[in-house]
Amino acid sequence: MTQLLGLVLLSFVVTSIFMVPFIDLLFYLKRRFEKIQKEKEKKSETPIHDALMKTDEGTPSGGGILLILILVILSLGYSFFSPAVDKISLAILLFTVISFGSLGLADDIKFIITRRKGKFLGLGRRRMLLIQVGLALLVSAMLYFLGGLNNFYISGLGNFVINAWYIPLSAFVVVAFANAYNISDGLDGLSAGLLLICLFAFLALASSILDLTLASFIGIWIGLLFAYLYFNVWPARIFLGDAGAFAFGATLAVVGLLTGKILALAIIGGMFIIIVASSAVQILSKTIFKKKILPVSPIHMYFKYIGWEESKIVSRFWLAGGVFAILGLWIALLSR
């Protein structure tokens, strides 16, 4: 426990030290490329854009890049000095973070380039989904062949050994959470706060089963999220970006899968599921019935649409996320 708390504090301090100059760098790049853009537009040429920024907002995006780097470096550093760390589990976690983070960064770059042509699709929905599925299948294959996972435990129903069917099912979970987190990253502090709550629940679960590797990884993740959330709550000074959103959503799913308790994952991450479900229902309604169920989606944007203050929405979603986390952890501990 002492080591774990030390990792949380170390991660928090390191992220805090680098966060302010990183934000200043993003603002500098934003101003620089906005100036270049204006000059290029006068010459009727295509302006140069920086992939870290959202040009339609005053707050820069790209915080996920710094967080991913710190998470990877500190996790590798801890594994180097701690022989008790399961190298396979850590490799799967880090591969998920890096691969989905790289995909998100590529989407950020493509998004800015295509937006100059009047498009707002980034890599495109179909292409993005196909790549996500490919990465998720690779991660799931690693869990199955290298991690030896081939079962799900559901409280009250028992243990289900599904062998190779584990790969497509876990891949679906990874893709679902990657997109759920990305969709939830729409209000200042919302997604990071919900993730922090989920990680505390999984930290308790990992500690209860004496999984040092998972607990240390989560501890480092919690520490850097504390530092990031300080700058991300309303009014946000920095946004995560697709790189961080896809990486964190997919990795949260892998953390849950490594515990072997898929029901606990679904409940602990219940707010993410509600958010992505609201978007999915809206899309299906428009596709099948040619009309919207809600004026806007996802659900947190609906509350903003009807007049709720942003801080009120975020705080109440955090409270709901806390209830889901406690319920999921309680069910998981009952089934130990």
242 is in an annotated binding site: yes
What was the pLDDT predicted at 1? 76
Confidence band for 209, pLDDT divided at 50, 70 and 90: confident
Give the helix ranges, DSSP H, for the chain. Answer: 2-42, 63-81, 87-115, 125-141, 166-184, 190-208, 212-232, 241-259, 262-268, 270-284, 299-305, 310-334
47, pLDDT greater than 50? no
What was the pLDDT predicted at 26? 80
CA atoms within 13 A on the CB side of 277: 7
Sequence-distant (6+) residues with CB within 8 A of 10 are 74, 220, 223
Confidence band for 155, pLDDT divided at 50, 70 and 90: confident
What was the pLDDT predicted at 303? 93
- The residue with greater pLDDT, 203 or 153, is 203
159 is in an annotated binding site: no
Confidence band for 32, pLDDT divided at 50, 70 and 90: confident
What was the pLDDT predicted at 38? 54
Mean pLDDT across the chain: 86
Output the CA–CA distances (angstroms, integers) from residue 203 to 86, 173, 209, 210, in the order listed.
Answer: 16, 20, 10, 10
Determine the average pLDDT of the residues in 238-250: 93
Instruction: Say how far apart CA 227 and CA 240 lie, in whole Å.
Output: 13
Determine the average pLDDT of the residues in 183-203: 95
Instruction: Say how far apart CA 264 and CA 155 lie, in whole Å.
Output: 9
Element (H, E) at 151: strand 151-154
Domain locations in the chain as residue ranges: 2-334
69, pLDDT greater than 50? yes
In DSSP terms, 154 is beta-bridged to 158
Instruction: Say how far apart CA 7 and CA 217 lie, in whole Å.
Output: 9
- The residue with greater pLDDT, 145 or 53, is 145
Task: Name the least confident of 4-8, 45-49, 242-246.
Answer: 45-49
Q: What is the pTM of this model?
A: 0.89
Confidence band for 247, pLDDT divided at 50, 70 and 90: very high
- The residue with greater pLDDT, 210 or 122, is 210
What was the pLDDT predicted at 218? 97
* pLDDT tens for each residue of 78-119: 999 888 889 999 999 999 999 999 998 887 676 554 444 444
What was the pLDDT predicted at 297? 86
Task: Name the least confident of 11-15, 50-54, 106-110, 213-217.
Answer: 50-54
